[in-house]
Each structure stands twice: as structure tokens, then as C-alpha cells.
């Protein structure tokens, strides 16, 4: 995957994930879409930000395949799950514990005991060894830190798969979440599931795609079982949203206030910004994901700004607080005198908010000198008006 979208203020999850082809998929958490049926049942739901029965598990994309497996004392089964899943760090629906992760799961039931099986799937290969009952579940989950939605970008569930064109792909979807279907999109051109293992192909499943006329072909000294049929779910994102990446003010000594708002969305959107509930002003930009507005606020510092994507069919305003900006102009350590000197300024030259070095103390005017036998590698200065800045410490003597 290449990018993750702004946070949906309704759910606390990203509005979409994007792959390298530019395809963006949204989170299918609503229960009223028959083409995105794969969500957790009501017993695992809860209330999230006023949404009743929000699922404990929902998906941006999921592809599943099942096929029979021979070789054991009875007919066995292989199940493969490839998914980009949204859930919570605990078993309960709790705001602040949202996680999104990429999952690859390879499950064998009733195969040969203590036997290694190799799975080839659209995103690579997996090996797993069964226990004494002929069972194993091998799972790789990437991106399990709460609220760190970029972690899932390191997973393998991309580029996104989609149905092949016969029959036609449902408009606005990559699959219908219910029908077994051939797929395309594998970066390795392995748009199938192939399982190698002793006797695997004796349960009557399809054979090696390179030799379809031989159902029990020996393939690298192992029998194989194969399918190119997947149940695939995913919905093309139609709400792109907006994210405020920075909202700062500057105030001259005479009292005039300017507010700078930086925002992010997808290219080609029309974003508007409102200061403290006032009239909306367009943000400039649109050729890239970045947008900007610089607005005169008279002599009053607004407490918050709101940005809304007016291109979206469903407007989802995003509001953040406004702070000053802090610039660290000096962070020098004199090893001879064992002193750390920090200088910083605020963009508020009228209120002149107090500035503090985290863990050290306040600045006297714009400068602070601290006695230390050894310095930290960085210093952070925090303003009483909310701004913050971090700089690398320079050794000067």
C-alpha cells in the first residue's frame, strides 16, 4: 500500500487506504450494503462515537479461498484469508483503541500429522507444519499498534485484488463479498492458491495450473491442490475527507492576527476553512495532496479552525485547535562549561507566551541556560499558547 487517508471523524479510522495503482478502498463498517457483507456479528459490536452496533471487526478488503485437502485420515480443508482489517486492541469496541492491520492466514484442518505444507498465494508464499492432529494455523498480522494506521502500509495486502472482467465487475466495488470468482492484481501473477504437501491433491480439488490435466501431479516431489476462486470484498472510496496537518497563528506586536492552515486530502478536491465558526474560505491547492490557506483574523486569535471537503457527497468537517508556532534559534551545548543554551521565539509577539524547555525549565525572555554534565540529543520547547518545536543539540566546545 502507498498511503492512508484522513481520519473519519465518525469512526476514528482512516477513510481509505490506497495502493500503488491509485485504487482507494474505504472501510465497510455499515451493515446495509449487500456487497460488503463481511463484518463481525452483532454480539461483537458496541457503540463508537454515537454509532450503535459498530462492528468489532470490519474490512477495507478481504479475499478468502477454501479448498479440500487430501492426505490425512479423512478429507481435510485449507482456508486462506488475505485481509486489511479494522478492529480494536481489546475485545471490546473502545474509542482510542482502533487498529488496522494486514493479515495473511493459512489454515489447515485434517491434513497429515506433523507435515509441512507450502502455500502459494497472490502475495507470496507461506510454510506451516501441522500438529499431531493434522492441524495448523499460520497468521501474519502487520500493523497492530493502536492509532498507528501507517503500520499496515508495511503489510503485503497490496496492490488490491479485484474480480476479473467476466462477468463484469460490480460498479464501485472490487468484488461482491459473496460470490466465488477469479481475480487479478497479484504482483507475482499468482492469482490463485496452490498448496503443496504429501497427498494434498487426492481430495478431488483442481490441479496444478501448469498441468490442469493431471489432478495428482507430483510437483516438486509433493502433491498439490489448487483453486483460482476467491470470495473478494472491497468498496471504492467515494468520500475522501480532509486532514488538518497544522493550524497556527501569528500576532504582530500591534495585535494583527494571521492564521495559517495546512491540510491534506487527495488531489482535485475543494476544501473550505472556517475560523471559529465564521465564514468559510477556500484553501488553495489541488494539484497535490497538500492544501493551504492564510487568513487574516483581525485582532482576535481564534481558538479553533474547521476544514470541510466540499467535493465529498457526505461532508465530514474536521476541527482542531489553533496554536502559535515556535522556532528554536539556538540549541548549543558547551562541553567545557557544561552548559546548554536554548533560544526560541513564538509567532505571538503581542501576548508573548511563556516558553519552556521540556524537562529543563522556562526561558528567560528568549534564552535559557542550563547546567548539565551531558546534554540530550534533542530539545523540545513548548509555548503556553500550545506551540511546540524540537531541535537537535549542537556541540560547540
What does the pLDDT look like over 123-171, one tens digit per residue?
A: 999 999 999 999 999 999 999 899 999 999 988 899 999 999 876 778 8
Tally: H helices and E strands in the chain: 0, 35
Separation CA 192–CA 355 (nearest Å): 60
Task: Give how far Cα 1 sits from Cα of 24, 80, 102, Å.
Answer: 10, 20, 10
Percent helix, strand, coil in the chain (nearest 5)?
Answer: 5, 50, 50
Contact 324, 346 (CB under 8 A): yes
Task: Give how far Cα 220 sits from Cα of 190, 223, 272, Å.
Answer: 17, 8, 61
pLDDT tens-digit map of 28-82: 999 999 999 999 888 899 999 999 999 999 999 999 999 988 766 667 899 999 9
In this prediction, residue 27 carries a pLDDT of 97
In this prediction, residue 165 carries a pLDDT of 82
Kind of pairing, strands 46-48 and 51-54?
antiparallel
Residues 6+ apart with CB under 8 A from 147: 12, 96, 97, 98, 99
In this prediction, residue 214 carries a pLDDT of 53
Domains of the chain from N-terminus onward: 3-235 (no CATH), 243-324 (2.60.40), 326-395 (2.60.40)
Separation CA 176–CA 233 (nearest Å): 6
Separation CA 393–CA 325 (nearest Å): 20
Per-residue pLDDT tens listing for the chain (397 residues)? 689 999 999 999 999 999 999 999 999 999 999 999 999 888 899 999 999 999 999 999 999 999 988 766 667 899 999 999 999 998 899 999 999 999 999 999 988 899 999 999 999 999 999 999 999 999 999 998 999 999 999 888 999 999 998 767 788 999 999 999 999 999 999 999 999 888 777 654 444 555 555 544 444 445 788 899 999 999 999 999 999 999 999 999 888 999 999 999 999 999 999 998 889 999 999 999 999 999 999 999 999 999 999 999 999 999 999 999 999 999 999 999 999 999 999 999 998 899 999 999 999 889 999 999 999 999 999 999 999 999 999 999 8
Residues 6+ apart with CB under 8 A from 32: none
Separation CA 387–CA 89 (nearest Å): 31
> 159 preceded by cis ω (within 30°)?
yes
Task: Give the CB-side neighbour count of residue 65, counting CA atoms within 13 A.
Answer: 25
Burial class (CB in 10 A: 0-12, 13-18, 19+), 210: exposed
Amino acid at each position: 500500500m502507498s498511503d492512508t487517508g484522513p481520519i473519519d471523524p465518525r469512526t476514528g479510522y482512516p477513510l481509505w487506504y490506497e495502493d500503488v495503482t491509485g485504487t482507494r478502498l474505504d472501510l465497510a463498517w455499515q451493515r446495509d450494503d449487500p456487497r460488503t457483507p463481511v463484518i463481525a456479528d452483532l454480539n461483537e459490536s458496541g457503540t463508537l462515537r454515537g454509532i450503535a452496533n459498530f462492528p468489532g471487526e470490519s474490512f477495507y478488503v478481504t479475499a478468502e479461498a477454501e479448498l479440500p485437502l487430501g492426505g490425512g485420515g479423512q478429507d481435510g480443508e485449507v482456508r486462506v484469508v488475505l485481509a486489511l482489517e479494522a478492529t480494536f486492541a481489546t475485545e471490546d469496541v473502545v474509542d482510542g483503541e482502533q487498529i488496522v492491520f494486514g493479515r495473511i492466514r493459512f489454515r489447515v484442518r485434517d491434513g497429515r500429522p506433523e507435515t509441512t505444507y507450502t502455500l502459494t498465494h497472490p502475495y507470496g508464499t507461506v510454510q506451516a507444519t501441522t500438529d499431531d492432529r493434522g492441524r495448523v494455523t499460520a497468521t501474519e498480522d502487520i500493523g497492530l499498534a493502536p492509532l498507528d494506521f501507517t503500520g499496515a502500509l508495511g503489510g503485503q495486502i497490496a496492490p488490491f485484488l479485484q474480480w476479473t472482467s467476466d462477468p463484469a465487475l460490480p460498479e464501485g466495488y472490487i468484488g461482491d463479498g459473496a460470490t466465488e470468482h477469479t481475480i487479478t492484481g497479484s504482483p507475482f501473477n499468482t492469482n490463485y492458491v496452490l498448496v503443496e504437501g504429501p497427498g494434498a491433491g487426492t481430495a478431488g480439488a483442481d490441479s496444478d495450473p501448469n498441468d490442469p490435466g493431471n489432478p495428482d501431479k507430483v510437483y516438486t516431489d509433493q502433491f498439490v491442490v489448487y483453486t483460482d476462486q476467491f470470495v473478494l470484498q472491497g468498496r471504492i472510496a467515494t468520500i475522501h475527507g480532509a486532514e488538518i496537518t497544522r493550524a497556527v497563528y501569528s500576532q504582530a506586536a500591534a495585535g494583527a492576527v494571521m492564521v495559517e492552515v495546512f491540510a491534506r486530502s487527495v488531489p482535485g478536491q475543494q476544501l473550505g476553512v472556517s475560523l471559529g465558526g465564521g465564514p468559510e474560505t477556500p484553501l488553495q491547492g489541488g494539484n497535490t495532496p497538500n492544501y493551504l490557506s492564510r487568513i487574516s483574523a483581525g485582532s482576535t486569535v481564534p481558538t479553533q479552525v474547521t476544514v470541510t471537503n466540499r467535493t465529498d457527497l457526505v461532508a465530514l468537517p474536521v476541527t482542531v485547535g489553533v496554536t502559535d508556532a515556535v522556532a528554536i534559534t539556538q540549541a548549543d551545548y558547551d562541553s567545557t562549561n557544561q552548559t546548554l543554551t536554548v533560544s526560541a521565539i513564538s509567532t505571538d509577539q503581542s501576548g508573548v507566551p511563556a516558553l519552556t524547555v521540556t524537562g529543563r525549565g522556562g526561558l528567560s525572555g528568549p534564552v535559557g541556560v542550563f547546567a548539565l554534565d551531558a546534554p540530550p540529543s534533542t530539545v523540545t520547547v513548548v509555548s503556553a499558547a500550545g506551540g511546540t518545536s524540537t531541535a537537535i543539540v549542537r556541540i560547540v566546545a
